[in-house]
Chain A
Amino acid sequence: MTVRFVALFTGGLAFLPFFSDAQTFQSARTVWASDGAGVPALARDVDLMLRSGELELASIQRDGVFQGRTHERLDQYHRGVRVFGGQLVWHKEAGRVLSITGKLFGIDNDEISVSTDAALDADAAVAHALAASEANAFAVGLVELVVLPMKLGVELAYYFHVRGDRTLDAFFVDASRGRILLRYNDHRSQTGMVGLGVGTWNDQKKMTVQQAAGTHRAVDTVRPFGIRTYDVNFDARTWNRYAADTPAFLATDADNEWMDGAVVDAHVYAGYTYDYYFKQHGRRGVDDAGLANINFVHIARQSAGFNNAFYDPVDNSLNYGDGDGITFNFFSSSLDVVAHELTHAVTQFTSDLIYLNESGALSEAISDIMGVSVEFFFEPAGSGRQRADWVLGEDIFINFGPIFRSFRDPNAIGDPDHYDVRCAPPVCTEDFDNGGVHINSSIVNHAFYLMVEGGTNRVSGMRVDGVGRAQMDRIESIFYRGFTAFLVPSSNFSDAREATLRAARELYSADSALEQTVRQGWDAVGIH
């Protein structure tokens, strides 16, 4: 029995005149009944179709928003064979039909009349598809006989999937002669996706990438803040022309298994730092407004000995040298270094500390502090490679051991641990380390360390009762707030002390134990 939709002409129904996909499939009747008058009439027709076997219940979907509401999906059938793409949905509540939506084939046009006797068996149909696929492809899932309402005619076909090395194709093979009627890529991927990255130290990470133009680009489209990593490929002209943001310069990988450690670490660690700022401080990107982050790697060959990483405040980019290959590895290979450089961007969008003398040392200090904080957030504490610790840049060294800076004992590598022993003119001038920005930062770093871990300052002999590693996040919040909210470009060490004390009072109340700890820390390193 074929029900011809008596309700088609009754009031209250909306049979919309557009087609499902006229490019590939036959025209389908859109069914849309959603008001009180039309629904019961159409529901009777649908019920008749259910009884006649033209529709069959396929699934019942519970509504996630309206409790008690269900969406029953009814597949269209022709002589016991499912019509591919034909489906109605009853939207019900407590057994009452609220509305009916969907698309049915063969309603407006001639009735579907294709025979449902397959001359070809399913195995033969699969063999035809495999013959048209890559060498190692194989069929997966069910092989289903369907009625396929193609634009050029309704066909009886076998529907199944064939999995290749990195593909999943849907096949529709003619059930009489084995022709491939329709084939399409059924990998339902988003533009943003995840690839496997192998870092400098052979550790595996998840690379957030973009699939485009037959390859994968180092463009993070998973996080709301874009991260793009460019492979300069040792071409200074490319580096300088980057402002054009040419996609061709983006780091790419064809198979999405990224083996270039410099690219992987720069890209992934920038993401970790973004995540840290968001989770710990609620900050959305370096400008707190979702500004994209740009990384440049392979800016010079190792033979050139570019042993540095830096933040460029003009184009807001992070730039990583490849090291010399003897002492230094890629400068993106250390999480604390990447977080350090990104924090310079945060500083630029907040206090914009002048990169000279004490303000410059404060800029370096907050970058160091956030660098180790990100390490403690993502890496297990301990000593060794890729462990959270109180030293900076240890993972960059090819032979593990040397460090750039020590929070616990700056004096051990010749850096000052008290204001009285700071690097001052005539040694530290504007012409030498910008007035000691990488040297005197250790005084602030050491204060931060004492506030967390506790201990006695070597010079003053003053003891600080640290809050402990479990409450390290509180000291981090105090420093983040103090440095980003209260400092200005020309702030000095004393200003930093007052800024963090004020932050401690705001976050944890006046005269709190945390405020006392912060005060003790600054006192111990001689900053008043």
Chain B
Amino acid sequence: MRRIASFLGLIVLAMGVASEAQQEPETNTVTPSAKTARRFQVLVNGGLGSGGRSFGGVSTFTEFLEQGSSRRDYDGSGGFVFEFGGIYSITREIGIIGSFELFSGDNNAFFEEIVPHPLLFNQSRSASSELAGLSYSENALHLGVVYSIEQPAITVDLFGGPSIFFTETELVTNVSTSSSYPFDELALGSTRTSKFSESPFGFNVGAALTYRFTPVVGVSVQGRFSRASVSLEAQEDSDPLEFDTGGLRVSFGLRLSF
């Protein structure tokens, strides 16, 4: 909660700066375009996000006088992304942008258990399997400064700034194994998963191309790259699982100017 409060504080600070800037007199004498005449834009985007999350770890344990291990490797798939937000123009070229992005995808897990033999040294048995469709959601609040290049019907926005991510990922936390005499083979039993949440800070940069049908309504194509590092302690006796959240998101949407 403290992190989120700090982040909201940043937003308020940015708004304060924006409002001070807004009080400066307009010096541009060119005929106001749709954008400058209308300071607020609402954006709604939908599209695809890349996967590319690849992370894992190994934890160790002692059983039958020897060390065994549990390996977990995860690969994330891409998924659908939805974003809504707004742009507030401070000057003709400069504004601030804020948006909330929702992304959900799947993680595929590979897990392997290596368990020592109960009767013999150096004869550990192993069993492995895969589990697909572990849930992964990644919501993010992006803030930033936007620089706009305007043509009569087309606007190019370049933006970048800080982000806070709200990730929830389902991870394999327990894999039961069994073995029967003569204990030379290991069989996998049930698999237990749990959901882990983390809210790391990161950044985002991107660009959007908007075509206006009217001064109010336009369509846009947007590309955004965002990133933050997530660290989850999902297994005992193991280093935290670390991976990068975010990635490249390409989306299409509406721009409404007011």
Known: A206-B121, A222-B119, A223-B181. A59 touches B193 (CB 8 A): yes
8 nearest CB pairs, A to B:
A64-B190, A61-B192, A62-B191, A59-B194, A60-B193, A64-B189, A194-B64, A59-B192
Neighbouring A residues of B189 by C-beta, 8 Å: 64
Interface residues of B in 155-208 (CB under 8 A from A): 170, 173-174, 176, 181-184, 188-195
Contact B65 A206 (CB under 8 A): yes
- Asked if A208 and B170 sit within 8 Å, CB to CB, the answer is no
Q: Is the CB of A206 within 8 A of B118?
A: yes
Of the A-B pairs whose beta carbons lie under 8 Å apart in the complex, a sample of 23, sorted by A's number, is A59-B174, A59-B193, A60-B193, A60-B194, A61-B193, A62-B190, A64-B190, A141-B236, A194-B64, A194-B118, A194-B119, A205-B121, A206-B64, A206-B65, A206-B118, A206-B120, A222-B119, A222-B181, A223-B119, A223-B181, A223-B182, A278-B181, A278-B182
Which residues from 22 to 72 on chain A have a C-beta closer than 8 Å to any C-beta of chain B?
57-64
What is the interface size of chain A, counting residues whose CB is below 8 A from a CB of the partner?
23
Binary interface encoding of chain A residues 111-135 relative to chain B, with 1 for a CB under 8 A from any of its CBs, else 0: 0000000000000000000000000
Known: A62-B131, A224-B181. A206 touches B119 (CB 8 A): yes
- Tell me the B119-134 residues at the A interface (CB within 8 Å): 119-121, 131
Interface hub of B117, B118, B173, B184 (most chain A Cβ within 10 A): B118
Check A60/B170 contact, CB under 8 A, given A141-B236, A206-B64, A224-B181: yes
In the complex, given contacts A61-B192, A206-B119, what are 16 additional A-B residue pairs having Cβ atoms less than 8 angstroms apart? A59-B193, A60-B194, A60-B195, A61-B191, A62-B131, A64-B189, A64-B191, A194-B65, A194-B118, A204-B121, A206-B65, A206-B117, A206-B121, A208-B118, A208-B119, A222-B119
C-alpha spacing A59/B195, complex, angstroms: 7
Bitwise, A201-234 to B at CB < 8 A (1) or not (0) is: 0001110100000000000001110000000000
Binding site for B on A (CB under 8 A): 57-64, 141, 194-196, 204-206, 208, 222-224, 271, 275, 278-279
Most chain A CB inside 10 Å of its own CB: which residue of B119, B181, B183, B184 = B119
Chain A minimum-CB-distance residue to B119 = A206
Residues of A within 8 A of B170 (CB): 60
Nearest chain A residue, comparing its CB with the CB of B187? A64
Rounded to whole angstroms, the CA-CA distance of A278 and B181 in the bound complex is 9
Select one of A59, A141, A275 contacting B119, CB under 8 A: A275
Residues of A within 8 A of B181 (CB): 222-224, 278
Residue contact B65 to A196, C-beta cutoff 8 Å: yes
Complex contacts, B131 vs chain A, CB 8 Å: 62
B236 and A222 contacting across the interface, CB-CB below 8 Å: no
Q: Which residues of B contact A206 (CB under 8 A)?
A: 64-65, 117-121
Question: Which residues in A have their C-beta under 8 angstroms from that of B119?
Answer: 194, 206, 208, 222-223, 271, 275
Chain B positions near chain A (C-beta within 8 angstroms): 64-65, 117-121, 131, 170, 173-174, 176, 181-184, 188-195, 236
Q: How far is the CB of A226 from chain B (nearest CB, A)?
A: 12
CB distance from B202 to the nearest CB of A (A): 26
Question: Is the pair B192, A62 in contact by a Cβ cutoff of 8 Å?
Answer: yes
A61 contact set on B, CB distance < 8 A: 174, 190-193
The interface centre, meaning the residue of A57, A60, A196, A204 with most chain B CB atoms within 10 A of its CB, is: A60
Cα–Cα distance between A62 and B120 once the two chains are bound (Å) = 31
A126 to B191, CA, bound (A): 33
Q: In the bound complex, what is the Cα–Cα distance between A208 and B188 (angstroms)?
A: 24
Q: How far is the CA of A222 from the CA of B118 in the complex (A)?
A: 8
Shortest distance between the CB of A327 and any CB in chain B (Å): 30
Cross-chain contact A64 with B176 (CB below 8 angstroms): yes
A57 in complex: contacting residue of B173, B195, B236, CB < 8 Å: B195
Docked Cα-Cα span, A57 to B135, in Å, equals 14
Instruction: Decide if B121 touches A279 in the complex (CB within 8 Å).
Output: no
Nearest Cβ distance between residue B78 and chain A, in whole angstroms?
23
Pair A62/B193 contact, Cβ less than 8 Å = yes
CB-nearest residue of chain A to B192: A61
A257 (CB) vs chain B CBs: closest residue: B65
Shortest CB distance A124–B (Å): 24
Contacts of B188 on A, CB cut-off 8 Å?
64
A60-B190 in contact given A206-B118, A206-B120, A223-B181 (Cβ < 8 Å): no
Q: Given A196-B65, A208-B119, decide whether A58 and B194 contact each other with a Cβ distance below 8 A.
A: yes
**Which A residues lie within 8 Å of B183 (CB)?**
222
Residues of chain B with a CB closer than 8 A to A208's CB: 118-119
Chain B residues positioned under 8 Å from A63 (CB to CB)? 190
- Within the complex, what minimum Cβ distance (angstroms) separates B203 from chain A? 31
Give the chain A neighbours of B236 by CB distance below 8 A. 141
User: Which residues on A sit within 8 Å (CB–CB) of B190?
Assistant: 61-64
Chain A residue nearest to B191 (CB atoms) is A62
Please report the C-alpha to C-alpha distance between residue A57 and residue B195 in the assembled complex, in whole angstroms: 8
| Interface pair A60/B192, CB less than 8 Å apart | yes
Closest-CB distance, B127 to chain A (whole angstroms): 12
A392 to chain B, nearest CB (A): 23
Please indicate which of the listed interface residues A62, A196, A222, A224 has the most CB atoms of chain B within 10 Å of its own CB.
A62
Complexed CA–CA distance, A279 and B117 (Å): 15
Contact A59 B65, CB 8 Å, known A64-B189, A206-B119: no
Complex formed: what's the CA distance from A223 to B170 in Å? 38
**A408, chain B: closest CB distance, angstroms:** 28
Q: How far is the CA of A442 from the CA of B131 in the complex (A)?
A: 58
